[in-house]
Amino acid sequence: MGKAHFGLIGLGVMGENLVLNAERNGYSSVVYNRTYAKTEDFLAGRGAGKDIVGAATLEEFVGALERPRRILMMVKAGQPVDDTIAAISPYLEEGDLLIDGGNSLYTDTERRVAELESQSFGYIGMGVSGGAKGALEGPSMMPGGTKAAYDAIEPLVRKMAAQVNDGPCVTYIGPGGAGHFVKTVHNGIEYAIEQVLAEAYDLMKRVGGMNGDQMADVLAGWNDTEELASFLVEITEVCLRTKDPETGGDLVEAIVDAAGQKGTGLWTVVSALEMGVPVPTIYAALNARVLSSLRPERLSASALIPAPPAHSFSLGSPADGMGPLRDACIAACIVSYGQGMALLQEASKLHNYNLNFSSIGQIWKGGCIIRARLLQRIQNAYGANASLPNLMLDPWFADQINRRLPGLRQVVAGAALAGIPVPCLSSTLDYIDSYRSGRLPQNLVQAMRDCFGSHTYERVDKAGSFHTEWLD
């Protein structure tokens, strides 16, 4: 038998599906897993009858691959990636390529690219989005590293990726950790949109008194609109419609209200804080998850701090798609993408990633978790102006924000009076109102800083740096 075209390390569900995807696209493959029993199970099960062989050792694995070797690692982010690199490196030869397809911290990827390239190996940090189904059928892929390393895997990843109207959902993202950084920001946006939809659900349930099927019907209508049609809206409809086999009630009501996370949302927010980019909607989504996990404390507080008196307000009628609530969600989704793209703009400058924002919009149109019809507009906006600082400055998006703001205000104000937390919706409103303000109250902050710390201030009427002895 000839040498295999493609190698995969790590037979978790994502790894299994990606190697099946590669094989389906004509790439004979060899797989390796730390425990060989898992490899045997896979070859006897889902891998049976395919052009896939197993290797019991890394030496055997490397020996079974054609050169330059293309090896995808699907192992847990962090130390396991470094351990895998250390274990396989002695068997690699010049020009061989390692691809990390996990959710690695982009600074780890920067370091690994530099280390591996200095040993004449290629190293790609590739964000892969789409969950298990996407991995099998066609994910969105965000590869970063040297361009030469990307060129060596381009035919493979273009075939494996989801396909949309204007091509495959993969492109060379940029050098170093660019691919993993873009994936991290993708996940920050994912957190925000998930939280926006959770807030919409809470409002429909608590203010509208609606059940799962009624809410799902509204979501189905939203999924028919250009502004909201998306994978996350689609699966929210499914989640709301699904019944609990044990009770017959809505399954979502049987689930504990404490959300976990694996780190990418946190990294998005930490990066944004470090880079000085405001991402309050994404931050609110992250905080909402963290706060939700303080369940025992919340239960104690609920006994001490009662809700305000009942306050009813209109979310719109289900027959017309709950107009104000829909508009609030549209504004928050637009702003979530906008904050993520603004963060990418800054990272691109800081790290010389030279990101192509229009292409990022394109590769997120299919395969990934945040795929949405709106991404065509994002692609167009950056196609028209590659250095657009904020989506809200694009005419189409500015018009959308103007049209959706009354609904957003109505919903946030009503929720505040009813004592229902809507962290992403209210952060979105504050963000928009701050962003559209020609004058903010930070003049007073500057005055205070100068008052107690002589930090100086600038004046509106003349250039220079000024100090006042405020306390004399």
Give catalytic residues, as residue numbers: 183, 190
* Residues forming the site for ligand 6PG (CB under 6 A): 103, 129-131, 187, 190, 260-262, 264-265, 368-369
Least distance in Å: CB of 189 to ligand 6PG?
10
Q: Which is nearer to ligand 6PG, 189 or 325 (CB)?
A: 189
Least distance in Å: CB of 449 to ligand 6PG?
37
Q: Which is nearer to ligand 6PG, 21 or 264 (CB)?
A: 264
Instruction: Report which of 262, 338, 264 is spatially closest to residue 106, judged by C-alpha positions.
Output: 264
Least distance in Å: CB of 198 to ligand 6PG?
12
Q: Which is nearer to ligand 6PG, 7 or 265 (CB)?
A: 265
Q: Which is nearer to ligand 6PG, 129 or 223 (CB)?
A: 129
Q: Which is nearer to ligand 6PG, 17 or 400 (CB)?
A: 17
Q: Which is nearer to ligand 6PG, 38 or 289 (CB)?
A: 289
Strand-pairing partners, residue 70, are 97
Is residue 68 reached through a cis peptide bond, with omega within 30 degrees of 0 on the bond before it?
Answer: yes
Q: Which is nearer to ligand 6PG, 271 or 400 (CB)?
A: 271
Least distance in Å: CB of 191 to ligand 6PG?
7
Relative to beta strand 122-129, strand 140-145 is antiparallel
104: left (phi over 0), alpha (psi -120 to 50) or beta: beta
Least distance in Å: CB of 87 to ligand 6PG?
24
Nearest residue to the partner ligand 6PG, using Cβ: 129
For residues 159 and 64, what is the distance between their CA atoms, to the nearest angstrom? 22
User: Tokens 């889902």 appear where?
Assistant: 46
Cα three-residue angle 150-153-158, rounded to 5 degrees: 100
Least distance in Å: CB of 102 to ligand 6PG?
8
Q: Which is nearer to ligand 6PG, 265 or 361 (CB)?
A: 265
Least distance in Å: CB of 265 to ligand 6PG?
6
Least distance in Å: CB of 256 to ligand 6PG?
15
